[in-house]
């Protein structure tokens, strides 16, 4: 969305009959988020991308014994780097491998350990609530089964891993209410296996993940179509949730919600963060799960009901993705370091960092949000208390016209569980509720009903498959 210069944003008030000027969106400007954005270093991101490229190939089926080449050396380095970051914050990160054996798959025929590296920064008041930032550690060339040729994977996706490491460096200097997971996921190119393994583990362990920010290619600014631009980024977010039941789909037909999955409201949250805290960056929310017919590591989390989005460059260059290193008809192919703009990768990393920080200082998004008001001149929203009383100041109701991409109006309503907007007719707007911390950090907005619910249900007897 385009930036607006004033902190009070009055949008189309004349269009909204009955809506008063005090319902314009206001917010607390957070100095800490400006500090976090400023602390992200393009230089350190460059060093980490160069280090990851130096392993020659990081193909999932590449060798694991060498200390200098292959996926084994790469993931051991990421593990050590997380440990170094942890040493600088008094051991604030829990660093671990998350792995499983995969075999009998098209792209992993023989038994292979798919091993991701994660670090958890534990929250102080709500430690079982998580937000996550991820990148992919593996790389590939033209033949997806070629595990020996040089596959630098500088942009796809050393950029995402380097951004995740840098976000960990910056955010580990702060304490948050909720927990943050930093993940370098494996096996992406072979079929999203690292994400599937971690998502399954998360659900088995009843992790309340409120948002997965999957970063896959955050450094290319020269598009295949000739466009060169370092001021925009894309946020891909699915519109209806994958785990929706038939009954919920029927409810959605009557009550709406096809544009208000928790993933899409996470995307709106990040878009707002870009406007407020990241200079020269305008995000473009794309109303689809991912690029046309293509995949990314937020999907396995969406599959299990977790909110998640893909953050990436706006302008992709296919000559630099999944290509053997070569020159053909004067065109250079391959995902080399020359194709990465480090300042741009730092800008997208800063966007992740302020979004993770904002959500982790905010309370949990409200649960069981409900709405009523058919055939009356008012709309009533209700919700349950967000977990962790000491971090909840109150709640804020949001609404927008049904055809608008972003929330247009809001009203802080205090520490209540129900609020009626007088003379705001339910038929003409989309509504939601956010929770607000004592120092003014807000959760993403939650659309009423199962279509918009952030928390997921855990079965007591989750099977082990």
Footprint of Zn ion on this chain (CB under 5 A)? 156
CB of 221 to Zn ion, least distance (A): 18
For residue 385, which phi and psi values (nearest 5 degrees)? Answer: -55, 140
Comparing CB distances to Zn ion, the nearer of 70 and 365 is: 70
Comparing CB distances to Zn ion, the nearer of 78 and 120 is: 78
> What's the rounded Cα separation, in Å, for the pair 364 and 389?
10
CB of 291 to Zn ion, least distance (A): 11
Comparing CB distances to Zn ion, the nearer of 126 and 156 is: 156
Question: If residue 115 lies in a helix (H) or strand (E), which one and from where to where?
Answer: strand 112-121
179 three-class SS = strand
Which residue lies nearest Zn ion, judged by its C-beta?
A: 156
Residue 355's nearest CA partner among 265, 451, 287 is: 265
Residue 152 region, left (φ>0) first, then alpha (ψ -120 to 50), else beta? Answer: alpha
CB of 189 to Zn ion, least distance (A): 5
CB of 190 to Zn ion, least distance (A): 10
Comparing CB distances to Zn ion, the nearer of 156 and 453 is: 156
- Between the alpha carbon of residue 305 and those of residues 200, 279, 315, 458, the distances in Å are 11, 33, 29, 10
CB of 156 to Zn ion, least distance (A): 4
Comparing CB distances to Zn ion, the nearer of 203 and 310 is: 310
* Spatial CB neighbours of 43, under 8 Å, sequence gap ≥ 6: 342
Comparing CB distances to Zn ion, the nearer of 46 and 156 is: 156
> What's the rounded Cα separation, in Å, for the pair 154 and 166?
16
Comparing CB distances to Zn ion, the nearer of 261 and 323 is: 323
Which sign, positive or negative, has the C-alpha torsion 75, 202, 179, 306?
A: positive
DSSP for 45-58, please give it.
HHHHHHHHHTTSB-
> What's the rounded Cα separation, in Å, for the pair 433 and 431?
7
| Apex 264 CA angle, 197 and 377, nearest 5 | 140
Instruction: Check if the beta carbon of residue 183 is closer than 8 Å to that of residue 133.
Output: yes
CB of 321 to Zn ion, least distance (A): 6
CB of 411 to Zn ion, least distance (A): 44
Residue 24's nearest CA partner among 13, 10, 14, 12 is: 10
Comparing CB distances to Zn ion, the nearer of 156 and 166 is: 156
CB of 137 to Zn ion, least distance (A): 12
Instruction: Check if the beta carbon of residue 413 is closer than 8 Å to that of residue 226.
Output: no
């Amino acid at each position: 969305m385009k930036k607006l210069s004033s902190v009070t944003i009055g949008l189309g008030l004349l269009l909204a009959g009955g809506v008063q000027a005090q319902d314009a969106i206001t917010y607390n400007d957070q100095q800490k988020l400006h500090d976090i954005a400023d602390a992200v270093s393009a230089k350190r991101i460059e060093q980490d991308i160069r280090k990851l490229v130096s392993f020659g190939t990081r193909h999932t089926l590449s060798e694991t014994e060498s200390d200098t080449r292959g996926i084994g050396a790469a993931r051991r380095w990421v593990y050590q780097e997380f440990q170094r970051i942890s040493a600088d914050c008094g051991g604030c990160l829990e660093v671990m491998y998350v792995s499983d054996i995969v075999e009998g798959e098209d792209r992993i025929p023989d038994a292979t350990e798919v091993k991701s590296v994660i670090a958890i920064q534990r929250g102080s008041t709500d430690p079982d609530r998580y937000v996550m930032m991820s990148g992919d550690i593996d790389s590939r060339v033209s033949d997806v089964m070629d595990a020996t040729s040089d596959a630098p994977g500088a942009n796809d996706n050393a950029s995402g891993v380097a951004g995740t490491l840098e976000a960990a460096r910056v955010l580990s200097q702060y304490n948050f209410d909720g927990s943050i997971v930093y993940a370098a996921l494996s096996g992406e190119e072979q079929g999203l296996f690292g994400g599937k393994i971690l998502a399954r583990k998360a659900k088995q362990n009843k992790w309340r993940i409120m948002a997965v920010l999957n970063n896959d290619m955050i450094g290319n600014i020269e598009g295949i179509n000739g466009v060169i631009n370092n001021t925009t980024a894309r946020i891909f977010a699915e519109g209806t949730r994958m785990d929706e039941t038939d009954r919920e789909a029927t409810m959605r037909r009557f009550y709406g919600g096809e544009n208000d999955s928790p993933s899409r409201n996470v995307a709106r949250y990040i878009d707002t963060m870009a406007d407020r805290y990241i200079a020269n960056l305008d995000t473009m929310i794309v109303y689809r799960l991912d690029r046309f017919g293509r995949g990314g590591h937020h999907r396995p989390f969406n599959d299990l009901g977790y909110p998640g989005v893909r953050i990436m460059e706006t302008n992709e260059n296919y000559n630099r993705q999944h290509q053997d290193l070569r020159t053909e008809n004067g065109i250079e192919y391959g995902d080399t370091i020359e194709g990465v703009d480090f300042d741009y990768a730092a800008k997208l990393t800063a966007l992740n960092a302020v979004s993770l920080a904002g959500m982790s200082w905010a309370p949990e998004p409200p649960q069981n949000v409900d709405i009523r008001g058919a055939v009356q001149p008012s709309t009533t929203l209700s919700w349950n208390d967000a977990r962790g009383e000491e971090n909840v100041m109150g709640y804020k109701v949001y609404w927008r016209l049904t055809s608008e991409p972003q929330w247009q109006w809001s009203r802080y309503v205090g520490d209540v569980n129900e609020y009626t907007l007088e003379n705001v007719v339910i038929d003409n707007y989309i509504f939601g509720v956010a929770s607000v911390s004592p120092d003014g950090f807000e959760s993403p907005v939650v659309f009423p009903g199962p279509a918009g619910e952030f928390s997921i249900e855990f079965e007591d007897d989750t099977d082990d498959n």
